[in-house]
């Protein structure tokens, strides 16, 4: 995984559990990412970029 200390607000990130896009939330100097499908906050260390999400889906498909 890549270093996400300086995340790009314009990039779309994805949930590691369901692979749906995450909602960017910010307030009071804090930045969070929320999955509306799983109803969970997702840590910056766990969220996936498009490439990571695509690779994860390919691995799951290959295992079936």
pLDDT for position 10: 75
pLDDT for position 51: 93
CA dist 40 and 37 (Å) reads 8
pLDDT for position 5: 52
CB atoms within 10 A of CB 3: 8
pLDDT for position 18: 93
Block means of pLDDT (10 residues each) for the chain, 64 residues, are: 58 93 90 94 92 85 70
| Phi and psi torsions of 12, nearest 5° | -90, 135
pLDDT for position 1: 47
């Amino acid at each position: 995984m890549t270093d996400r200390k300086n995340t790009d607000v314009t990039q779309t990130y994805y949930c590691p559990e369901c692979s749906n896009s995450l909602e960017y939330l910010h307030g009071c100097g804090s930045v969070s990412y929320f999955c509306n499908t799983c109803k969970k906050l997702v840590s910056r260390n766990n969220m996936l970029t498009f490439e990571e999400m695509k690779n994860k889906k390919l691995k799951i498909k290959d295992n079936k």
